[in-house]
Amino acid sequence: MSDPNHATQNVFDGTVQFPVLILRQDALTNNLAEMRGFCADNDVTLAPHCKTHLSPELWRMQQEWGAEIATVATVAQAAALFEHGVRRILIANEVVDRAGLRAMSDMRREDPGFQISMLVDSIEAVTLIERILEEVAADLPPLPVLVELGARGLRSGARTLEEVIEVATAASATRVLDLVGVEGYEGVFGKLSGAERDRAIDAYLDSGVVAVRELIDRGLVEAPAIATFGGSRFYPAVVERVRGALSPSEATVILRSGCYLTHDHGTYAASHADVPSRVGKPRLSPGMEVWGVVLSLPEPGLAIAGVGKRDVSYDEGMPVPLAIRRDDVVSELTGVSVTRLNDQHAFIRVSPDSVPLRIGDLIAFGISHPCTTFDKWRTAYIVDEDYSVESVAHTLFH
């Protein structure tokens, strides 16, 4: 792996070891501007899911372009960002273990201005959290929580409006919790397709609107309540169904889309094009590439490159060969595809119509699903159009 402390001027200047993760600054800037405009046009707040990259530098970039809250999945992720100065965090998950709740309390105690919230989805969870917080955080203000709205058979979350009300009532009755709204994740319906998927998402988001209004009407949450939905695929539906139904006086609508920053060449590119929208969509560009070296040409039609499961995501599709660099020239690469990965090797099928590959060629691979590429790296070079290094982003994954 390349040394990020080395005075690298260009990823091809001979100082960078391959494989290497690069982020294209032009794509990042485009995506940041597009999402900021989309959120401003539709009066929604952006709280990007920072588990995508878990990078202080990339979070600060998002913050400079309008993101207000960092979303994470675990207390460890929250603590990592807290250590780098992030002071508004949403844990889009429940925390019910003593160590996790104690760590959250320690951060709040260390900085009284620190804002952190989390989810609850059952009376049992509320009861357990209350007992622990009474022991470890009795000196602190109530911890903000949101009731998680789920769907039968899919992830966590209260399954019915009645359950949402029960959980909200239990949380509101405690001294240590402050109920602030409703949370959900419409992405659980992503395995469905076409009209069936769209109907399921619409019905789910409509039930979220009903839940927010019901909690306000019952005096369980103050208006404007928080209504936070929006993964990286179907967030236009959140704007249409949730923001379109709830006035600003009723709810602050928060999107948690995380993968917009880099987009991808696979699952998000396909779903972004496929998702219908009456409220417009950001025009996103793929900005993440992993470059590797052709190591072997063991038989006709097969090339093996030094990029594998340790370097690129493969849970939502194989990496996509994009370009080749040979004799200091980068050009488009067609007629090749990755058929499988080993830990450190990509098996590339080379068609007769492709440029013949040579040992030592450098290949750029686009990826599908940024989250499970970022977590394989500790550094990423942010480059201009000529692959000159503009800055370095560090990740905080364990």
Q: What is the pLDDT of residues 88-101, one digit of tens each?
A: 999 999 999 999 99
Secondary structure (3-state) at 71: strand
SS3 108: helix
What are the strands, taking DSSP E only, across 334-378? 336-341, 346-350, 362-366
pLDDT at 21: 98
| Inside any domain, residue 29 | yes
**Residue 124 lies inside a defined structural domain of this protein:** yes
- What confidence tens digit (pLDDT) does each residue in 3-26 have? 555 567 999 999 999 999 999 999
Residue 224 lies inside a defined structural domain of this protein: yes
Q: How far apart are CA 380 and CA 297, in angstroms?
A: 28
396 inside domain: no
88, part of any domain? yes
Q: 215 in a domain, yes or no?
A: yes
Query: Considering the chain, what is the average pLDDT of its residues?
Result: 96
**pLDDT over 90 for what percent of the chain?**
93
Residue 2 clears pLDDT 60, i.e. is over it: no
User: Which long-range contacts (C-beta less than 8 Å, at least 24 apart) are formed by 156-161?
Assistant: 156/93, 156/94, 156/119, 156/121, 157/121, 157/184, 157/185, 158/121, 158/122, 161/207, 161/210, 161/211, 161/214
| CATH number reported for the structural domain that contains residue 102 in this entry | 3.20.20.10
Q: What is the pLDDT of residue 7?
A: 65
Closest C-alpha to 251, from 308, 212, 305: 212
Structural domain span for residue 238: 25-262
Q: Tell how strand 302-305 and strand 288-299 pair up.
A: antiparallel
- For residues 180-200, give the mean pLDDT: 94
